[in-house]
Structure 1
């Protein structure tokens, strides 16, 4: 474990995840998903530790993490805001909504607010096209949203 700077409490959490999933089909995906859920993101150091424990090259782990957009290598805010940019939402003003939320939160897409509360992202489709434009915050989908109504909703996510 030399050269890999991961805090002991993180190592313990990752070890538990690996021990519970290493024999499952698609173990790496399971381990990465559960580790991100537990720690919040998959830093280079965390990826290296997982690679070491699984006895695979770090590039294998990095390849998976960098390929799938739902994995992140940087810390996210306490709450993840995803603005749907699918066709129906875009036609109904999602681009403008994303710009206005970006201005209101003082971040660009992919960034986290200074207070660490919110990360703003764009996504392809939330699957609620009849409710366009739609925004997802954490696991909650809000349809037919305007900037002002969504900013009011954010008060529930402090």
Structure 2
């Protein structure tokens, strides 16, 4: 009985607003504004990060499952250290740091054979490692340059000129996004929300059991625009990951050329008048110790 009443109710609503076919047509017909947006989107070039360039694996001479891949002797010690942080029946919890270590050892990208090797180490089906490697954008599944340059593309950096920074890099290096230079030195990618600034010094710490030394960290978009440089030129032992902030097109080219010469550019802000993430020219407020909050006499309450 309730079902019949519900059906009559729906039929009555459809009759009041027109036939069912007319209602469906109105729902499916896009507005002129939406149609114009769809047309513009279809004409726009599609550019994706390395990790999502392919959502599936295609065998190639340098990337196929039957290739032999294993961690180096030095890195096997790191593997044991990583796994020591998890219960023996939860080895799969170490998949992310193990993928990161494999990427450092393999020159900045993770072949499918490395994923299979990790699956054996943590005693899971290979698909469990594939799922992680294809989900997180920091894992590259295609070759990158020895210096992998990542441009922050989030709104604050975009407003401050990150697109101009990226265009300058691509033009200077003669590549497109996600391509590697002919000498194998450089590649350019894009990253969202780097959230980095020179405000707090963290010395010699471990984050997710991945060793990071001398970092400057703050979760706020302050010194935009900025890039990150992953240095795979020295293998996993000499791997570094640094941020360069307050960039200009001229300065980002200078940083690239310093890397090409084997030099180490000063990381952090590139603004000559800024210290860390403070205002250019120094503080305009808080020149001394701030006044403490007033304390009341609790016994008098």
Q: TM-score range by the shorter chain?
A: 0.7 to 0.9
Match of 1:29 among 82, 85, 96: 96
Give the corresponding residue for 1:153. 255
8 Å contact kept, 1:17–1:35: no
Which structure ranks higher in relative contact order (CA pairs < 8 Å, sequence separation ≥ 6)?
1
1:142 counterpart = 2:142: no
Larger radius of gyration: 2
Judge conservation of contact 1:76–1:112 (CA < 8 Å) in 2: yes
- Give the conservation status (yes or no) of the 8 Å contact 2:110–2:140: yes
Give the helix-richer structure, 1 or 2.
1
Query: How much has 1:23 moved relative to structure 2?
Result: 4.3
Does residue 80 (structure 1) correspond to residue 172 (structure 2)? The answer is no
**Which of 171, 182, 204 is matched with 1:114 structurally?**
182
Structure 2 unaligned segments of length 5 or more: list them.
Answer: 1-64, 87-92, 198-220, 231-240, 261-301
When residues 149 and 11 of structure 1 are mapped into structure 2, their CA distance, relative to the original with a 3 A threshold, is: closer
Tell me which stretches of 4 or more aligned residues in structure 1 moved more than 6 Å.
none
Would you say 1:19 and 2:80 are equivalent positions? yes
SS in 2 for 1:155: helix
* TM-score normalised to structure 2 length: 0.46
Aligned to 2:121: 53
| Compared CA separation, residues 11 and 156, structure 1 to 2 (3 A) | same
8 Å contact 2:165–2:252 — kept in the other structure?
Answer: no
Post-superposition offset of 1:53: 3.4
